Amino acid sequence: METVLKVSNFHKSFGTKEIHKGTSFELFRGECLGLLGGSGTGKSVILRALVGLERPDDGEIYYKNRKVHTLSESEWRPLRKEIAYVFQNGALFDSLSVLENLSYPLLRHTKLTQEEITKKAIRILNQLDLFDTEHLYPNELSGGMQKRVGLARSLMLKPEVVLFDEPTAGLDPKNTILIQEAICKLSKTDYTSILVTHDMSTALRVCDRIMLLEDNKIKLTATIEELKDKSHPLYEFIKGVQN
């Protein structure tokens, strides 16, 4: 299997608080990797580092065998067409409409006409059950809709890797299912993804492999197949959380 992203001996501290002490893992092409762990274990930190929003104190990050943790901000910019990040709260530009939010990355990175961009945006919105929302502003959308618009915006450039930061956090069951379905649809296409979540049902439904972050590093890893074995230590963890 081809390794798309590789994190090796990742260290990160904020002040005196050590968040990661030598976290290492690989992400293979086409898989959806779930990152589980308690609050403050640094799940989002590692996701932010993978897209260049945080720099590791020590350790290395490779994207398609290219060292990326030392890249400058301007060197990162072209790579961000390939690695998309879906923010926990959507992080939509509140002064722009939904259509303008979706157009933003295409206007920056492509030479498509406004008509082509609009068509593409509406197609993606419809795929995510966001019919007739293109002229609304983020404050006119529900939390679940904002997250789906955030997801739609990150998919506009057809990235190779999608990083989901708690996509179902704080959502009602209906919106959770909608997001899960959207991610499942993506998994069936060419996307490789990492999903940071607290929500076990989402992780079990969407991911191919699950990793548990504990004590500042990756403690356990298992594929969904391996988790069918009830004696697997990660199964015990999941059962404990679900209870």
Partner 1 sequence: MKIVFQLKVYYFFKMLGECTELSVESIVKTFQGKIKLHAITDQIIDIGIRSLPLISITAISTGFVMTLQFGLGLEKYGGKPYVPAVMALSVFMEIAPVFTALMCAARVGAGIASVVGSMKVTQQLDAIRVLGNSPVEEIVAPRLIACLISFPILTLITSFLALISSCVVSTTELGLDPFFFYQKIISTVTLHEFYSGFFKSYIFALCVCLPACYYGFHVREGTKGVGLATTKSVVTGSILIFISDFFMTKMYWIIEAWKQF
Chain contacts with partner 1 (rule: CB under 8 A): 48, 51-53, 73-74, 76-78, 80-81, 84-85, 87, 89, 91-94, 104-105, 108-109, 153-154
CB-CB contact of 161 with 5 (8 Å): yes
**Distance, CA of 74 to CA of 220 (rounded, Å):** 36
Which CB atom, from 25 or from 85, has the smaller least distance to partner 1?
A: 85
CA dihedral sign, ordered 224, 225, 230, 231: negative
> Smallest distance from the beta carbon of 53 to partner 1, in angstroms?
6
Which CB atom, from 154 or from 192, has the smaller least distance to partner 1?
A: 154
> Smallest distance from the beta carbon of 74 to partner 1, in angstroms?
8
> Smallest distance from the beta carbon of 160 to partner 1, in angstroms?
14
CB-CB contact of 165 with 47 (8 Å): yes
Crossing angle of helices 98-109 and 114-127, in 10° steps, is 120
What's the alpha-carbon Rg for the chain, to the nearest Å? 18
Give the tokens for residue 128. Answer: 């995510």
Assign 24 to helix, strand or coil. strand
CB-CB contact of 180 with 188 (8 Å): no
Residue 198 carries which DSSP code? S
> Smallest distance from the beta carbon of 101 to partner 1, in angstroms?
9
CB-CB contact of 97 with 134 (8 Å): yes
Which CB atom, from 52 or from 234, has the smaller least distance to partner 1?
A: 52
Which CB atom, from 39 or from 74, has the smaller least distance to partner 1?
A: 74
CB-facing half-sphere around the CA of 126: CA atoms within 13 A = 6
> Smallest distance from the beta carbon of 108 to partner 1, in angstroms?
5
Which CB atom, from 79 or from 224, has the smaller least distance to partner 1?
A: 79
> Smallest distance from the beta carbon of 77 to partner 1, in angstroms?
5
Pairing of strands 32-37, 217-223: unpaired
Which CB atom, from 95 or from 242, has the smaller least distance to partner 1?
A: 95
